[in-house]
Chain A
Amino acid sequence: MFSNQNLLAGLALLIFGVLTLTVLIPYGVQKPDSVQLQALAPSFWPNIVALAIAAIGLALTITTLLAERRSKDRNRAPDHVSSPSAAPTQFWLTCRPFVALAICFALYFCLEPLGFVLACAIALVALMMLAGEYRPQFILPIAVLVPFGLHLFFTKAASVPIPMGILEPWLLRI
């Protein structure tokens, strides 16, 4: 598990570093007409950092592979075998963060049309149910009071104009 994690991290860094050097910097860093000194060029620092990322990724990959080889020589026992009965729960637990992320992005797109209070209230209900809380006597008060309380704090105490969306006529009266 630990070495797999290191290997994945190493490969991810290596790929990202190479992509930054070959795609992101050439297309994302605008070049000025003339540069007096290479070290002052806008692309100098990004190139150094991207090179470092790729080098670190490569070093991490190689050291992990070498360590893996050494440990395999010593111990050839299988890493871990999961029990078949735990599989569905494990699958759901793996999926849950992504469902939570999907709710987050749905919330992002609803914030302006629905308004913060309503969108956050709906998201809170969804997130609490996803987390395993199904009792309405807890869910509903929290879903109403938390976004409404935060709305009041930011609009009244901190003077931050929070988008009110379709609830604007009611919220403006408060």
Chain B
Amino acid sequence: MWETLANSFALFAQVDNALALLIGVIVGTIIGAIPGMTTPMGVALALPFTFTMQPVTGILLLLGVYKGGLYGGSLTAILINAPGTPAASCTGLDGYPLAQRGEARRALDMALYASCTADFVSNLSLIFFAGVLAQFALSFGSPEFFTLIVFSLTIIASVSGNVLLKGLGSACLGLLLSIVGLDLIYGTNRFVFGQVDLMGGLNFIPVLIGLFALPEVLNFYSRTETVRSLSALAGKGATFLDYRKAFKTIMRGSLIGVILGVIPGIGGAPAAFLSYSEARRTSKNPNNFGKGELEGVAAAEAGNNGVAGATLIPLLALGVPGDIITAIILGAFMIHGLRPGPLLFQENITLIYALFMGIMLSSIYLFIVGKLSIRMIAKIADIPQRMLFPVVLILCVFGAYAINNTVFDILVMFVMGIVGFGMLRLGIPAAPFLIAFILGPLLEDNFRQSLLLGRGSWSIFFQSGICIFFWLLTVLTVVFLIYQRRMGSKIFQEENNG
């Protein structure tokens, strides 16, 4: 045990790792703070830079972007009521009124303290629970993995936006694209059409950049640029007394974030809103919420950041991404020849512990970067988009090329950009596409391996207790999601009528 920890520390304690994590947090905070630039887009753009890095260094860079992005989204939500991330929209409910009252600095400080505390709690949960879950997952075979992936695909419902059918359609398109290449059992071509470059299947990165970064760039050209005015960073910062008063709310929000973060597909936004509503319900001043209550900022940020470490639990322990960002990080593991899941805990435990050490350090970095950079980031977020988006496009070109040193990947990226732009225009969400594209090969491989094991009998998918457990969980989740959507549309209709 101690020897493993010592080896992990040796693997982690390198200047490259510390620097990559710091750069990641800074870049993530900047990207999160720029309206129109999303955290998944930031992680996707950072991914090509990790190819030549050591696995730990590369993954820490991406985790830094992820964590920085979660916090960065709150900056513009508070300052100009333009949330950089969906979850940060909850922070803006009280943060922006505080800024209008001349207490922007206090709101930003509280957002930072709540983010760091929640991030720390979430990281601890990751360290304590990921190993336990991985131990349990060691008893999984192909049928169990198949049912687990089917369950994981239910996350598509939560990233499908307003129309579930569009999300499902998008996921099916992703599944279809994941089929391109050689068939693993018979060695025959599927959708290759004589193109040698397609025989190995489509690379994940050009598809990812094409779907997430390019449509945003193209969409920018279809609208007039909005000129934003920044509120001055006025007022005093939050005091220790403010933090102590909100501590209970922060801890509750952190736990809500951890619990919701472990469940694939929930994400930061529902955690932020649940934490916010709980804070409001238990507050002595519920009427102040929405009008500039500091506790509201703390609750929203704690819920949002409590998710960060917890979403890595199913990723590391089961190899199942909990959201779109962890799906990209799963891709990063694969690029470095690593497959997250129970076997990773057996074969690469030093790497896992090294990552845990880095993740703990990220909370400290987040605090330092947040404290030092509030003024600077507020200015960076104001870079005109007419300069920013062309630069992002060129970054995409270099990034797509660097994967395999082939311009074919750039072509794939541009084609996927057209697909993504078309989907954006038709209101078809891109996240289900990408999740299905990543999980598709796993789903098909485990399905076919199970049938081979069961000699063609479909009963193999219902033989073990784990399989039945995941089927039940899938059914329950689907029923819950349908009920939730019906309730949502009912409320929407009532609001429209009333």
Contacts and interface: CB of A to CB of B under 8 A. Distances in A.
Interface of A: 2, 5-6, 8-10, 12-13, 16, 20, 24, 27-32, 35-37, 39-40, 42, 45-46, 49-50, 52-53, 56-57, 59-60, 63, 89, 93-94, 96-97, 99-101, 104-105, 107-108, 111-112, 116, 120, 123-124, 127-128, 130-133, 138, 142, 146-147, 150-151, 153-154, 157-163
A50 to B, nearest CB: 7
Interface string B172-214: 1101100100010110111111000000000000000000000
Tell me if A's interface is mostly helix, strand, loop or mixed: helix
Contacts of B418: 101
A9 B407 CA distance: 31
A130 B217 CA distance: 12
A42 to B, nearest CB: 4
Contact of A9 (B192, B394, B427): B427
28 contacts: A6-B166, A9-B169, A9-B427, A10-B165, A12-B426, A29-B191, A31-B188, A36-B456, A39-B448, A40-B451, A46-B176, A49-B179, A93-B222, A100-B217, A100-B221, A101-B414, A101-B418, A108-B414, A112-B407, A116-B401, A120-B398, A123-B393, A131-B386, A142-B391, A153-B49, A154-B398, A158-B49, A162-B398
B43 interface: no
Nearest to A121: B394
A53 B172 contact: yes
Interface string B392-414: 01110110011001010011001
B451 A39 contact: yes
B3 interface: no
Contacts of A132: 225, 386
Contacts of B163: 6, 60
A124 B394 contact: yes
Contacts of A157: 52
Interface residues of B, number: 64
Contact of B193 (A16, A28, A42): A28
B267 interface: no
A120 to B, nearest CB: 5
Contacts of A161: 405
A146 B399 CA distance: 13
Contacts of A36: 456
Given A28-B192, A29-B188, A142-B387, 20 more contacts: A28-B191, A28-B193, A30-B189, A45-B175, A52-B172, A94-B222, A96-B222, A104-B417, A107-B397, A111-B401, A116-B398, A123-B394, A124-B394, A127-B393, A128-B387, A132-B386, A133-B387, A158-B402, A159-B52, A162-B401
Nearest to B407: A111
Nearest to A100: B221
B390 A131 contact: yes
Interface in B407-441: 407, 410-411, 414, 417-418, 421-422, 425-428
Interface of B: 49, 51-52, 163, 165-166, 168-169, 172-173, 175-176, 179, 183, 185-186, 188-193, 217-225, 384-387, 389-391, 393-395, 397-398, 401-402, 405, 407, 410-411, 414, 417-418, 421-422, 425-428, 444, 447-448, 451-452, 456
A147 B399 CA distance: 12
B394 A42 contact: no
Contact of A46 (B165, B179, B385, B451): B179
A111 to B, nearest CB: 6
B188 A32 contact: yes
Contacts of B193: 27-28
Nearest to B455: A37
Contacts of A89: 224
A37 B451 contact: yes
Contact of A130 (B173, B221, B401): B221
Contacts of A52: 168, 172
B172 A56 contact: yes
B401 A60 contact: no
